[in-house]
Chains A and B, each alone.
Chain A
Amino acid sequence: MKLYVNGEEREVGGALSLAELIAQLELPVARIAVELNREVVRRSDWSGTMLHEEDRIEIVHFVGGGRD
């Protein structure tokens, strides 16, 4: 299954939930937020959200920045 994660194309095998994808990416789960096809998915819904072909996922965190 082809996904777009933070704009990058990724091939993943089989049925996969959002929680499983995040675990596969080995991301620190604290203080990140996730968007699926431009809609925020709440943390509590990650494990129940199954991914589909061509889904677009954005995973963000916080960085230093005042203003730019």
Chain B
Amino acid sequence: MSTAVTAASPGDKLIVGSRAFSSRLIIGTGKYRTHEQMRNAHEASGAEMVTVAVRRVPLDRSSESFLDYLNPQLQILPNTAGCYTAEDAVRTARLAREALQTDLVKLEVIGDQTTLFPDNEQTLEAARILVKEGFVVLPYFNDDLIMAKKLLDAGCAGIMPLAAPIGSGLGVQNPANLRIMREQLPDATIIVDAGVGTASDAAIAMELGADGVLMNTAIAEAQDPAKMATAMKLAIEAGRLAYLAGRMPKRLYASASSPLDGVVK
């Protein structure tokens, strides 16, 4: 019997509301040096969903639609990046829904410009309104179990705890919090969002039991984004497999792998 080495199993999907994705990697569309570079990175990543931001149309020049640079096969996940209040995030989500005819939204309500940490209170308020309006809400929030429970109780389709500050590339700063969230919320879709810097960071998030990882800067700011996108794809698959495989327990002392009997003396 052969075992597939590239994926956990065909039935192992990332579930977001009524949608199922084979790839557990979601990537951004910002900070690339060129549109072509972005397209190549998207392709290499194998991601099926990309996130885009909503902004005012410039009135002084005719601008082509950025969306034309995206593979039409990709699921677009509009985000509310740049919003600092629940009200602005709700308005932005409604505009995104009108423009794209999608009910998906990655909810972000930022609390502070230096850290870009989320404002959890405003996030929860916006989540409640958007769920009531029929949105499939994925909120970015601090890696906090209690907040996670509140967001899920509000009807969010999944939750997006940060690993580290947005764009910092620091990797998972609090693995215990992610583990606790996974153990306490076994049925929740948990997508680690923000802070991943390189492939091992993504693998760690997945080994801790995350259902997926969303990243932008780690790929876009790599020297070779397409190569990093491939690395991320592999890391996420490796981390997922390791999680499903169930790792060995950690021990303080050595445990010999070879039999102790019959050693030449």
Contacts and interface: CB of A to CB of B under 8 A. Distances in A.
Contacts, number: 130
Interface stretch (B77-85, B121-129, B230-238): B77-85
A26 interface: yes
B28 interface: yes
Given A27-B62, A28-B62, A64 B31 contact: yes
Interface of B: 27-32, 38, 51-57, 59, 62-67, 76, 78-79, 81-82, 91-92, 94-96, 98-100, 108, 116, 140, 166-167, 193-194, 214-217, 220
**How extensive is the interface on chain A, given as a class?**
20 to 34
The 4 closest A-B pairs by CB, nearest first: A66-B28, A66-B216, A65-B53, A33-B99
A68 B94 CA distance: 19
Given A33-B99, A35-B95, A65 B62 contact: no
A32 interface: yes
Contacts of A32: 57, 99
Contacts of B92: 60
Contact of A62 (B28, B59, B99, B116): B99
Main secondary structure of the interface of B (DSSP, over half): mixed
Contact of A67 (B64, B96, B194): B194
A14 to B, nearest CB: 20
Interface-central residue, A8, A27, A40, by most chain B CB under 10 Å: A40
A62 B194 contact: no
A53 B108 CA distance: 33
B98 A67 contact: no
Given A58-B56, A63-B52, A42 B32 contact: no
A9 B193 CA distance: 38
B99 A60 contact: yes
